[in-house]
Structure 1
Amino acid sequence: MNQLIRASLSSRLRTKLLIVGIFASASLLVACNENYAPMETVKQVELNRYLGKWYQVAYIPNSFQSMCVADTQAEYQLDDTDVRVINRCRTKDGSVEQANGIAKLVENSNNAKLRVSFFRPFYGNYWVLDLDSNYQWVLVGEPSRKYGWILSRTPQLDSALQKSILDKAETLGYQRSQFQVSAQSNPLK
């Protein structure tokens, strides 16, 4: 009986991995065939100043964050030449969901472009589009403009400052209406 259960679980796992693999491969092929309008990043990111905890203040909703309802945050830690990424959020039932990933710096980008993966070998773009000179807030996005985040060192941003960051996002080809404010009611420790 145990062998039958293990075989069934193994079969379901292989099926799920196959589906994920097909979806990821198709996504990569689509991404390779699309041309996007140029997008500028900041000139340079001082990685040691960027490391640490950031709170998600606003974002463009996406499928991989669909379980998150509040208190979303990201933490970046140096791991040799790469950056360890730890994303956490509160789910609908109040539990905390965590995703661990790795970010690789893109050569000749002055640390303004990274390739991030939570499911290797598949990587996505993470571009620093606007950054406070004191590293207190950041606008992050990628060339397709389907994904975007406003992160802050504090759980909330002043509304005028947030509007200014969204203005910058619009100049880069994003639509302000794409962004949704993130609930930060009980920040995770």
Structure 2
Amino acid sequence: MRRFTAPAAALVLGLSLVPAPASAQAPGAEVRPVRSVDLERYQGRWVQVAAIPQPFQAQCARNDNAVYTLLPQGQVQVVNSCTRADGGTTSLEGRARRESPGSTSKLQVSFVRTTEGWNFDRPGTYWVIGLDRDYRWAVVGAPDRRSGFVLSRTPAPSKKDIAGMTTALLRNGYDLCDFEITAQDGGAPESVPLCPAG
């Protein structure tokens, strides 16, 4: 499988699909969340630039995005939406909460609602492992690296921002070839693997 360095991956995310040398993936690196996240600043709409494909997104053809709203009790409302191949829109609401009282970069997410409220018996792991100081982009992962999401406030982030996103993934031991670029109106024209075949 082809590996990409941080600069080459930035070119790939920028849709200049070119061959690149061996990966700068940090061998044996642990997945580490950022020190803290200002959840008020983290609110709002995030566009998915790239992600490790997930079963729950199978119906999405383009425009995957999430809107986060901080609620009075400290939880975060999560509304994920995307455009299907037939042109319709799909959305799903959930809740996120802190994994522990002192943590703002380690969250748990539930999309299971019961009559008693949101069920966090088997929550999804949502660790912010990369974050721009101006909250222009964020990288979300999990300790097992089975999920990974590259988020931006805009569908076409700058090369500087793409380089920051890529560095965050590599620093946390992610294989960039597990990711797929997300098609976005105003951004990538189609969903393609981050690492071209061959």
**Contact 2:62/2:184 (CA < 8 Å) preserved in 1?**
yes
Could you tell me which residue of structure 1 aligns to residue 45 of structure 2? Answer: 53
The 4+ residue runs of structure 1 with deviation greater than 3 A are none
User: How far apart, in 1, do the equivalents of 2:144 and 2:102 lie?
Assistant: 18
Moved more, 107-116 or 95-104: 107-116
| 1:104 alignment partner in structure 2 | 97
Q: In the alignment, what sits opposite 1:151?
A: 151
Q: How far apart in 1 are the matches of 2:37 and 2:142? A: 16
Q: Which amino acid is the alignment partner of residue 94 of structure 1?
A: G
Shift of 1:109: 4.8
Higher relative contact order by CA 8 Å / sep ≥ 6: 1 or 2?
2
Q: Which has the larger radius of gyration?
A: 1
Please, which of 91, 108, 115 is the counterpart of residue 115 of structure 1?
Answer: 108
Asked if 1 retains the 8 angstrom alpha-carbon contact of 2:97 and 2:108, the reply is yes
Gaps of 5+ in 1: 1-35
Q: TM-score, normalised by structure 2?
A: 0.71
Give 1:146 shift: 0.9
Identity of aligned residues (%): 36
Report the CA distance between 1:37 and its aligned residue.
6.8
Hey, what's the Cα distance between the residues in 2 that align with 1:81 and 1:43? 18
Give 1:163 deviation, angstroms.
3.9
For structure 2, list consecutive stretches of 5 or more residues without a partner in the other structure.
1-27, 113-118, 188-198
Deviation of 1:166 (Å): 1.9
1:22-46: per-residue Cα shift (whole Å, max 9, x none)? xxxxxxxxxxxxxx97421110101
TM-score, length of structure 1 as denominator length:
0.75
SS of equivalent to 1:170? helix
Contact 2:29 2:172 in 1 (8 A): no
Query: Which amino acid in 2 is paired with 1:158?
Result: S
Once residues 168 and 82 of structure 2 are traced to their aligned partners in structure 1, the CA distance between those partners, rounded to angstroms, is 26
* Separation of aligned partners in 2, 1:89 and 1:178: 21
Please state which structure has a larger fraction of its residues in helix.
Answer: 1
Distance 1:142 1:72 in 2: 19
Structure 2 contact 30–173 (Cα < 8 Å) conserved: no
How many residues are aligned here?
A: 152
Quote the Cα distance in structure 2 between the aligned partners of 1:160 and 1:43: 22
Is the Cα–Cα contact under 8 Å of residues 49 and 135 in structure 1 kept in the other structure?
Answer: yes
1:44 aligns with 2:36: yes
- Residue 64 of structure 1 aligns with which residue? 56
Does 2:160 correspond to 1:167? no
Letter matched to residue 128 of structure 1 = V
